[in-house]
A = this chain, B = another copy of it.
Amino acid sequence: MKLFRTLISLEEALRTLSSYAKGTEIEEIRFEAALNRVLAEDVVSLIDSPPFDRAAMDGYAIRGEDSFGAAPRNPVFLKINRRVEEEIGAGECVPIATGMPVPKGSNAVVMLEYTKELGDTLEIFKPVTPGKNVSFKGEDVKKGEAVLKAGKLLQAHDIGMLASLFKITVKVYKRAKIGIISTGDELIDPTLQQPEQEQRHQKIADANSYVLAALTQKVAVPYRMGIVRDNYDGIKNALRSALEGDCEGLLVSGGSSVGKRDFLADAVEELGEIVFHGVAIRPGEPTGFGIVNNKPVFVLPGYPVATISAFELLVRPFLYAMHGVTEERSKIFAVASKKISSAVGRTDFVRVKVIRTGEGHYVEPLRVSGSGILSSMTKSDGFVVIAENKEGVAEGERVAVTEYFAL
């Protein structure tokens, strides 16, 4: 049995983790499959976009100068040339639709609604300045320009940009395969085909591996590896075989608190190295981190809420670093409608309800006792992290909230 009474601060843990986070491999994939992937190259445009001067409106391409002085009662008359390929001369115009190349010689598009066709003559009722209603070549993106930078999480409009630049494949960080193991004699898998009624009532469903898989899934590829009993050799063998396989990291939960069953950290230590064990966060204090076969292993608490807290505070930043994510998650600011208690010397992960009013957002902490209360998460809209140097949050104080909703 190993005691870990020397807790390190969250800050120190994160600093340590960042020194261990190695970027995943880089793979080249089709641009349309790259939504929510992290770019691993600077995308430099090989073309101008638009590739030619094009009409930004439906109407007639003209020399803007030719329309000067036009008015509803004093129209300008131009000769309609219907051969778009030709260069137009003074006093001429060409019918044109949005997006089409403007013919040589023209420099503006007069909108359809300010014109009237009279056979081969066009009446124009409003002047346009040269350059008006034309998208010029390279106006959006110039050839040679770095359009998207490595580290960017690709959004829908970035996919559109790649399409518009004919950039068919992109280099992105490969999503790492992360093994997930739950440990504990008390656990059964809730999806067992014929769970015996009696067994159900004697056992606890393994929720952790499903929660961890769902959390991991947004960044990496989770691989649930089942439940291992609280048996030192069994645990050691499970960890060893998981890490000899193709997993690039491992999240093991359960049995990480001080106790007779504290086998996980010992097994990691025997197979490799425990880098830290015990972080001043609440819940999630008994979280540990180690390296086995050059691969990262997180030892996470057995209770789901503690595991989620440890994931959000420690594992998520590590996975982001592995996957080249440089951007920050969006946080809203809200006013605490009630005091939120917290102790100096530890970082608190507080589940909150968000109340939206006309004047702004308010948060209310969910009262909870213990990290076994998963309903404290399901009833919350987000969480607030209270830094270890803060003695709680006063009523009326402003806090940053990470909300869950993301569609």
* Chain A contact residues, CB within 8 Å of chain B: 3, 30-32, 35-36, 47, 49-52, 54, 56-59, 95, 97-101, 111-113, 135, 139-141, 147-148, 153, 155-168, 184-187, 190-191, 195, 200-208, 210-211, 213-215, 217-219, 230, 254-255, 257-262, 302-305, 308, 320, 325, 327-333, 356, 360-361, 369-370, 372-375, 377-378, 382, 403-407
Contacts and interface: CB of A to CB of B under 8 A. Distances in A.
A247 to B, nearest CB: 19
A157 B211 contact: yes
**Interface-centre pick from A3, A195, A218, A374 (highest chain B CB count, 10 A):** A374
A368 to B, nearest CB: 10
B160 A257 contact: no
Contacts of A51: 200-204
B259 A207 contact: no
Contacts of A215: 156
Contacts of A36: 406-407
A95 B163 CA distance: 64
A349 to B, nearest CB: 12
A363 B135 CA distance: 27
A184 B303 CA distance: 56
What 3 pairs across the A-B complex have the smallest Cβ distances? A58-B259, A156-B214, A160-B211
Contacts of A218: 407
